Structure 1
C-alpha cells in the first residue's frame, strides 16, 4: 500500500512538472503570429527622432520603445506591448512619448490588431495625417489616447463605434482636429461607460450655440469623472445641472466663450477641480461657488469678474489652489484666509485690489506660491509671517513701501522673489535665502550698497537691481561668482567699475543677457571679462566714450547690441557673426557708412540715428538682406536710394541729404509700417504706389521738393492703417486729396482700449523696437524717441493746395492735430470739423477761407491750440467752452471778425483794407497744434514715465493726476489705461 501511494505521488509529481513546463513554454511564446507580423510591419513606417519632442513638457523623456521589437522574439515581451495570457493576442499598445515620426496610413497594419483594449499613441508626430476612420475598428477599446499626435482634419464619424470606451483623449495641436456636431453627439450617446473625456484644443466651433452645446454634458453618463474641453472654441452657458453630475470630479472648460447661469446649488457635488479661466465670464463671483465644498482647485483667472471677493469663499476649506488673477476685482482683499488652511497656491495678480494685504494671508503655513502683482496694494509688509514652505513670492507692480522685512530674504525654501516696481526704500539686508534662483528688486527707492551676501547666492539665474540711489563702488567682476547667472540688470550705480583690480580674467559662463544702464561706468575699455554665451548686451545712457572695446568685439554669440545715448566715436571692424540687432543711436560716430555693414549677414534691426555718419546709402544692406528695421535719421548721408529694398517694417531716413526720385521698390515692402523720408532733397510726385501697403501707420514726406497734384484714385483700401500723415513743406498743388482722406480708416475709429502710454513699435527683438521721429516746430527740430499710439495727426501745411476743405475730414474722429496752414484754400470752414472731439489743435491759418467760424467748433472740448489767423473770415467769434481760452493771435488778420477776444464789437465793425501779402509771414509754426504740446509734453511725459519706471509712483504725481496709474498688464489683458498721456502735455 505504501508503495502504491508512493507510485501515485510520483505520477502526480511528473504530471505537475509536465504541466508547469508546458505552461511555462506557452507563457514564453504567447504572442499571436499575425499580431507579431502586424507590429513589425508597423515599425517600418516610422523613424525615431527625439529632437521633435525635446521641448515637450509632457514628455520629459522619450523612449525608443520599438527598438526592442525584433523578429524572432516574443512580441509580448516587447516594450509597450501587452498580450492576453490565453489567446496571445495583443490587447494593449502604449507608444506614448515614443518620438515616432512618420505618416499614419489608413492601410497601416496597426488596424489589424482588432483585439486591442487599450491604445496610446500620445506625443508622437504623424506628419499631419488625417485621423483615419479605421480607428473605429477597435470596437473592444476601453482606453484610447491619441493626444498631440499631429493628426488633422475632421474627426471621423466611425469614432462613435467605440461603445466600450471608458477613457478618450483626442487633445490636438492648434485645433488640428475638428468636430462635426453629429459625430460628437453620436459618440456621447453610444459610449455609456465613459469616465474620462479629454478633447483639449480640438475644434468645436462648428457646433451651433443656439441650444447651448454645453447642455450635452448634463446628459452624459453618471459614470463621468473627468471632462476637459480646454480651448475647444465651444460656446454656451454653464448651468447647475452640469455641476451636479454625481461623479464629476474634474471639469476644465478654460479658454472658451462661456457665460454663467448658476443659482443656489441644492445638489451634493463631488467636484474637486474646476477651471473656468479665460472664458470671458463677466460680473461678480456667483455665490454658488461657495457651495462647491469639495473643491481643491478653483481657477477663474483671465475673465472680467468684478466687484469684491465674497467672504463666502472661506467655505471652501479643502482648497489647495485658488487663482483669481487678471480680472477686475477691486477693494480690499477680504480677511478670509484663516479658514483656508490647506491653501498652497494663491493667484490675485493683475486686478484693482487696494489697501493692505489681509493679516490672515500671512498665517497660511502651507502656502508655497503667492501671486499678488500689479494691483494697488499699499503699506508695508508685516514683520513676521507663518510661511514655512513658500517657494514663489510675486508682489511686483504695487504701492508697497517701507523697508523690506528680514523674513523676505531669509526664507530657506524661497526660489523666486519679485518685489520690483514698488516703493520699498532703505537698504537691502543680508540675504540668507540661498535657494533663490530669481531675484528682482528693480525700480524701488532702495539705496546704499549691495549686501555682500548677494554674491553668495550661487543658484541665481536672474538678478535685477536697477535703481537710482546705489552708492559706493560696485565691482562688476564680483558677479562672476554667480556661475549660474543668466540675466543681469543693473542701473543707477554711483560708480560701476568694470575693470578688475587684478589681472585675472573673469568668466561669466552662463550669462545670456547683460543690461547696465544709467550708471557711472569706469574702466569699460580695459575690461577683460569673458562672456561665451552672451546674446544680449545693453550699455545705453552711460556716457561711454571712445571706440567700442575689444572685449565687446570678441563676443561671438552676441545677437543684440545697444550702446545708444553715449559718446562712442568708433566701431572699428566689428566681427558681426550672429548679430541681429544693433543700436548705436545718439552717439558721435562719423564713419563712412557705405561699407559699414557689408559683412553683417543676419542683421534685422539697425539704428544709427543721431550720429555723424557720412557717405551714400549702403547698397550691401539691400542685397539678400534679412533687414526689417532701419533708422538712419539725422546723419550726413547723401546720394540717391537704391532701386531695390528688402521687405522692411520700418525705414527712417529723415534729416539727411538724399535726393532724386522716391524708390518705387518700396511698394514691394508688404509689411512696411513706418516710412519717414522727411527733410531731404527728394524731387518727385506723390508716391501713389504706396497706397496699398495695408500695414503702413506712419508716412512722413515733409520738407522735400515733391510737387504736382495728388491723384484722386478710386479705391476702398487706401492707407487703411495710417495714423500719421505729414506731407508738409513741399510743392503739392491742386485740391486736397479727398479720396485718400475718406479712406483713412484708422483715423476714423476711436479705439475703446487705447493705452496712453503704449507706443508704436515692433516686437522682433528681446526688448522690442520703438519707432522714433523728428518734428520741426517754429524751425526747431524736436526728437520724439517714442511715438504714442494716440499721436494721430495730419499735416498738409506749406504747400500750394487750393479749393475747399472737404467735409470728409470731419470723419477722422481720432485726429489729435490737423494742420492745413499756408496753402491757397478757399470757401468756408466745414461744420463737420466740429465732430473731431479728440482734436487738440487746429491750424487753418494763412489761407483764403471765408464765411463764419462754425459754432460747432465749440464742441471741441479737447482743443488747446487754435489758429485761424490770416484768412477772410467774418462775423462774430463763437463763445463758450474752449473758445473762451484763445487769445487774439488765433484770429488776427481776418478783417471781418468781431467779438471777444478781439476788441472790435460786432455791432460796430469798421471797414478795413484787405491784408497785404506780408501778413502771410506773420504766423508760421509747422506742427504747432500737437507738436508744441508734445514738445514740452513729451519731455515732461517721458520724464515722468521714467521716474515711475525707475522709482515707483511718486506721491506728488498721484495727487496731481487722481491716484490711478497705468499698470503693466500681463498677456491677454484688454483693459483701458486709467490716464491719458495728453493730460501731461503742456502748451507753450
Structure 2
C-alpha cells in the first residue's frame, strides 16, 4: 500500500482505541474548559484521597474513564459529576461550560470555594437532575426560583452557605414540584424571611421527605406542633434556631431528632416516649426544666441521648435499660444532683458518657468494669468526692477522661492495666495527693495531661519517657526540688506548665531549647527557682508563643540572646529587672506584655518595644519606677484592651486619645494632673476605669454615664469638684458595681438619679454554698490568664486592695466630700450592695427606713455628718452587717422598750469573744464629744430583736442581766459601757 493510500485509510478508519471512546466530544471539551477556569488547591478539611480526581482529566483520553465522571453506558452522555472536596477555587460564572452538561443526573460540587459566586438560574438546565450537592461552597445571593424546575430532585444539599438567601415562594415551589424529594439539607442558609406559620403550607405535601435539616437557618417565631408532621420523616434537625420556639411535633417514624438550641421550654414531654423508633435524640441548649423522666431511658432503639445545657434538676434515674444498647449519653450542664446510679453499669455498649457540669455529689461508684467499649468519659465540674474507682484505670478503649473540677482526693495508682489508647487525661482542679505516677508521662498514646491545681508531688529522679506527650499541666501543685532532667527527654512537648509550685535550684535557660516544638513555657511563681542566662549562647525558640517567667529570680537576664520570632505572650512580672534584653525589644508579634512589679525607670526601651508590637492587646507596667509623661503610644494601639500603669510616678496630663477597644484602664497611684480627656467617651467597651490617687482636677465627667458596660469607676483621692448633675438619661450606668469618688471636693446633693438607675446594684445573684467567687475581670476570663488588675476600696472600716474583683462585690463610696442634703430613699433599692460609705460629708435629715432593705450590706459608714432623728428600727433587718459606724452625728434612739428580766448566770459579762463577733466593735455616737452609747445599747439589745448582733455571727444569745458594750467618742477614744 502506498504512503498516500495509507494516510487515506487512517483518515477514513480511525484506530480502534479512538473508535471505542464512549464520551461525547462536546462534553469532553466542556469539562476540560471547566477545569481550566479554576485553580485546584488542597482542601485541609477533606481527605487527601478525595482531592485527586481532576489529575486524571487528560486531553485525548476517554472522559468517561476520568475520576469523578459517570457516563451512561448506552448513550455515552455524562450523567454524573462528583467533584466534592476537590479543592476548587474560583468564581462560577453564568457562561461556565459546566452548564453545557445538560444530561447530568447527579452533581456534587460540595466543599469547594466558589468565592461567593451567585447561585445561577442556569442550574435549572439540569432537568434530569436527581441529586444536587452544593454544600459548603460559599455561594451567595437569592436561591433562584428556576431551581423549582428540577422536578426529579430526590436529594438537595445546600448546607453551610450562610449568605444564600431563601424566599418563601421559592422554597414553596421547590417542595411542591419535587414530589420525590427525600433528602433536603438547608442548614446554615438564610431562611429568616420565612414565617413559621407558612411552613405548614410548605411541607404539607412533602409526604416523601425522609431527611430534613433546617438547623441554623435563622427561623424565628412560634412553630406549632402540627407544622412538621411529616409522615415519612426519619431524620429531623431544627437545631440552633435560637429565636424559634418549638413545640414537639407528632413524628411516630422519626429516628434522629435534633431540637437543640431552639428555645424549647418546660419539662421534657412524656410524649417523647411515643417515638419508639428513636435512635438519637438531642434537645440540648434549651430551657428545659424539671427532672429527667425515667421512661426516656426505656425507648427500645435509643443509642444517643443529648440533654446538656438545660435547667434539668433532680437525680439521674436509676432505670437504665437492660438491653445494653446505649452508645452515647450526654447530660452535662444541667442541675442534676444526687449520686451516679449503679445501674449505669448496664450500659455495656456505651462509648460516650458526659455527665459534666451538674450537681452530682458523693463518690464515683465502681461501675465501669463492664463498660469495656467506653471511649469518652466526662464527669467534670461536679461535687464528686473520694477516690477514683479502680475500674476506671482498667478501661482499655478509653480515649479521653475528664474528671476535672471536683473534690476527688487520694493518690493515683502506681500502675494501670488500661489507658493504652488514652489521648487526653484531665484530673485538674481536685484534691489529689501523693506522687505523680510514671504512667502519666509514659503511656504510648497520651498527648495531653492536665493535673493542675491539686496537691501532687514528684520524684525528681523518675525517668519520664514519652514520644507522644505534647501538653503537660502540673501548675499549682506541691512540686518541690529541682526540675527533673528526664522531663527534657519529652521530645515532642509543646506546652509545659510548672508555675505556682515550690521548685528550687539554678536552671540554665538554654536547656529548654531541647523542646524543638515548644510553644508555651510557664515557670512563674516559683520564688526559690533561679534562671541563669549566659551571654555567649544564642537560643532558638522559633515556635515559642507564650513565655511566663514571673517571680523566678532572673539572673543576668540582660544577657539573654535568643530568637523569639513568634512570641505572643510575655510575662516577666515580679522580678527585679531594670532593663529589657534587646532580643525581646525586637519582637513584633506580642499581644500580651506584663512587666509589672519590677525596677524599670525609663520608658525609652518600652516605647521601642511597644512600637514594634502594634497588635498589643494587654500592656501591664504597674508598680515600677517609671516617670515622665505617659507616652501616647501606650494608649492608642488599635487592639489594646487592657492598660495598667498604676503605682508609678507618671506626671502631666492624661493621653489625649485611647484605643476604642480598651476595656480595662488603670492609672491609679501616679501624679497625673489636669482634665479627663473626653475621648474616653468613645471607649464603648470600657469596663474598669481606675484613676484614683492622682492630682486630676475637673468636674464630674457626665459623659461617662453613656458607657453601658462600665462596671468599676474609681476617681477617689483627686481634686474633682462641683455638683454631680442628675441627668435624665434612660440607662444611666446600668452595669456599674463599684462607684468610688471619695476624697474629692464634690458638693451639692447626692446624685439621686444614680441610685434609681444602678440596675446591676439592684440585682442579687445567689451563690449558694460556692465559696469560690467568680470575678469581673473579663480579660482574665476571656484569655484564661492570671488576673493582675486591682482596685482599692474602703470597706468594713479598712482600706483594701482587691487583686481581683468579685462579681458580687458591689460598693458605693462617696465619703470625704462636701455633699449636703438628705440621703435619698432610692438608696434602699440597691439590694446587692456589700459596702456603703457616705461618711465625712454634710448630710442632714434622718436615716431612710429603706436602708433596712439592704440585707446583703456588710459595711455601712454614715459617720461624721449632721444626721438627726431616731435611728430606724429597720436597720435590724440588715442580717449581713459586720461594721456599722453612725458616730459623730445628732442621732437618738427610740423609746426604751419594756425590759425582760432573766435568771442570774454565773458569767455576768458579754465579751466579744463569747459572741464570736469577728469584727471591729460597732461605733455609734454623737457629735460635740457627748457619748450616749448606753441608750443605743438598750436599743440594740432590748428592742425585741436582740439576736441581731449575735446570731448572724454564729454566737448564741445568753440570758443575763449585766451587759457590756463599747462605744466610741467623737475624739476617737473608746469607752466600755456596762448596762444592767
Q: Same fold (TM over 0.5)?
A: yes
- Which residue number corresponds to residue 168 of structure 1? 184
Deviations 1:556-609 (A, max 9, x none): 4433322222334456435857x5xxxxxxxxxxxxxxxxx6x76444433333
Match of 1:758 among 768, 771, 775: 775
- Does the aligned pair in 2 maintain the 1:202–1:232 contact within 8 Å? no
Conservation of the 8 A alpha-carbon contact between 1:282 and 1:306: yes
Whether 2:665 is the aligned partner of 1:651: answer: yes
2:23 matches 1:29: yes
Equivalent in the alignment of 1:150: 162
Distance, in Å, in 2 between the alignment partners of 1:256 and 1:40 is 50
Q: Which residue matches 1:255?
A: 285
Alpha-carbon shift at residue 817 of structure 1 (Å) = 1.3
The 1:364–1:656 alpha-carbon spacing in structure 2 relative to 1, beyond 3 Å, is closer
User: Which string of whole-angstrom CA distances, capped at 9 and with x for unpartnered residues, describes residues 618-647 of structure 1?
Assistant: 345566855443333333333334555442
Contact 1:325–1:349 (Cα < 8 Å) also in 2: yes
1:395 matched to 2:427? The reply is: yes
5+ long unaligned stretches in structure 1: 1-19, 580-596, 908-917, 925-988
Distance 1:725 1:228, change over 3 A: closer
| Structure 2 CA distance for partners of 1:904 and 1:458, relative to 1, 3 Å | closer
**Post-superposition shift, 1:445?**
1.3
The aligned residue for residue 676 of structure 1 is 690
| In structure 2, distance between residues paired with 1:189 and 1:906 | 75
TM norm structure 1: 0.78
1:837 to 2:830 alignment: no
Shift of 1:868: 0.8
What residue in structure 1 maps to residue 243 of structure 2? Answer: none
Q: How does 1:419-458 map to 2 (within 5 A)?
A: 419-427=451-459, 429-458=462-491
Q: Does residue 129 in structure 1 map to residue 146 in structure 2?
A: no
Q: 1:129 to 1:684 in 2, by over 3 A?
A: same
1:629 aligned onto 2:647 = no
Aligned residue among 553, 557, 563 for 2:595: 563
* Aligned pairs for 1:277-292 within 5 A: 277-287=308-318, 289-290=320-321
1:369-411 deviation per Cα after TM superposition (whole angstroms, max 9, x unaligned): 2111111111122233221322322111111112223333332
For the residues of structure 1 that align with 2:572 and 2:833, how far apart are their CA atoms? Answer: 37
Contact map agreement 2:564 2:584 (CA 8 A) in 1: no
Q: CA separation of 1:80/1:235 partners in 2, compared to 1, >3 Å: closer, same or farther?
A: farther
Q: Note if contact 1:159-1:187 (Cα within 8 Å) is conserved in structure 2.
A: no
SS of residue paired to 2:743: coil
Match of 1:516 among 527, 540, 549: 549
Q: Is residue 226–residue 250 contact of structure 2 (8 Å, CA) maintained in 1?
A: no
1:938-953 alignment, distance < 5 Å: none
Pick one of 793, 796, 820 that aligns with 1:802: 820
Closer, same or farther: CA 242–144 of 1 in aligned 2, 3 Å? farther
Q: Secondary structure at the match of 1:101?
A: coil
| Superimposed CA distance per residue, residues 508-543 of structure 1 (whole angstroms, 9 cap, x where no aligned partner) | 2322212223323323222333333222222222x3
- Give the Cα–Cα distance (whole angstroms) in 2 for the partners of residues 27 and 221 of structure 1: 51
State yes or no: 1:891 paired with 2:920.
Answer: no
1:546 counterpart (571, 575, 578): 578
Q: Say which of 373, 377, 387 aligns to 1:356.
A: 387
| 3-state SS in 2 of match to 1:281 | strand
2:401 to 356, 362, 370: 370
Distance in 2 between residues matched to 1:365 and 1:84, nearest whole Å = 50
* Secondary structure at the counterpart of residue 124 of structure 2: helix
For 1:64 and 1:203, the matched residues in 2 are separated by 36
Supply the distance in 2 between the matched residues of 1:863 and 1:222 (Cα, whole angstroms): 60
Decide whether the 8 Å contact of 1:81 with 1:92 is kept in 2: no
Displacement of 1:340: 1.2
Report the more deviating stretch, 431-440 or 878-887: 878-887
2:221 corresponding residue in structure 1: 206
User: Aligned partners of 1:734 and 1:857: how far apart in 2?
Assistant: 26
Cross-structure match for 1:587 = none
RMSD in angstroms over aligned alpha carbons?
4.2
Aligned to 1:639: 652
1:451-850 superposed matches below 5 A: 451-491=484-524, 492=526, 494-500=528-534, 503-541=536-574, 543-570=575-602, 572-573=604-605, 576=608, 601-620=614-633, 625-641=638-654, 644-647=657-660, 648-752=662-766, 756-762=773-779, 767=785, 770-775=788-793, 783-850=801-868
Q: 1:899 to 1:695 in 2, by over 3 A?
A: same
Judge conservation of contact 2:594–2:621 (CA < 8 Å) in 1: no
Distance 1:268 1:688 in 2: 62
In 2, Cα distance between the equivalents of 1:238 and 1:841?
45
Contact 2:857 2:881 (C-alpha < 8 Å) held by counterparts: yes
Distance in 1 (alpha carbons) for counterparts of 2:619 and 2:784: 14
CA distance in 1, matches of 2:369, 2:571: 47
The reply to whether residue 181 of structure 1 matches residue 215 of structure 2 is no
CA gap 1:437/1:572 in 2 versus in 1, 3 angstroms: same
Residues 802 and 824, structure 1, Cα contact 8 Å, conserved in 2: yes
What's the counterpart of residue 90 of structure 2? Answer: none
Q: What secondary structure is seen at the aligned counterpart in 1 of 2:552?
A: coil
Residue 805 of structure 1 and its aligned partner are, at CA, apart by: 1.0
Q: Distance in 2 between matches of 1:255 and 1:194?
A: 27
CA distance 1:654–1:516, shift in 2 (3 Å): closer
Q: Aligned partners of 1:166, 1:313: CA distance in 2, in Å?
A: 38
Distance in 2 of aligned mates of 1:289 and 1:518: 52
348 and 234 in structure 1: CA distance in 2 versus 1, 3 angstrom threshold? same
Mapped to 2, the partners of 1:268 and 1:534 lie a distance apart of 54
Q: Residue 552 of structure 1: CA displacement?
A: 1.9
- Cα 1:488–1:377 change in 2 (3 A) is same
314, 325, 329: which one aligns with 1:294: 325
- Give, in whole Å, the separation in 2 of the partners of 1:905 and 1:332: 47
d(CA) in 2 for partners of 1:632, 1:148: 46
CA, structure 1 residues 777+238, in 2 after alignment: closer, same or farther (shift >3 Å)?
closer
Alpha-carbon shift at residue 466 of structure 1 (Å): 2.5
Q: 1:721 to 1:489 in 2, by over 3 A?
A: same
Residue-pair matches, total = 867
- How many Å separate the matches in 1 of 2:38 and 2:52? 10
Match of 1:311 among 330, 339, 342: 342
Going from structure 1 to structure 2, the CA distance change for 1:863 and 1:656 (only over 3 Å counts) comes to same
Q: How has the CA–CA distance of structure 1 residues 330 and 22 changed in structure 2, closer, same or farther, with 3 Å as cutoff?
A: farther
The 2-side partners of 1:59 and 1:202 are apart by 28
Mapped partners of 1:242, 1:471: distance in 2: 60
Partner of 2:153: 141
d(CA) in 1 for partners of 2:313, 2:265: 15
Structure 2 unaligned segments of length 5 or more: list them: 1-13, 78-102, 235-248, 898-909, 943-967, 975-980
| In structure 2, C-alpha distance between the alignment counterparts of 1:266 and 1:741, rounded to whole Å | 52
CA distance in 2 between partners of 1:671 and 1:869 (Å):
41
Residues 738 and 901 of structure 1, relative CA distance in 2, 3 Å threshold: closer
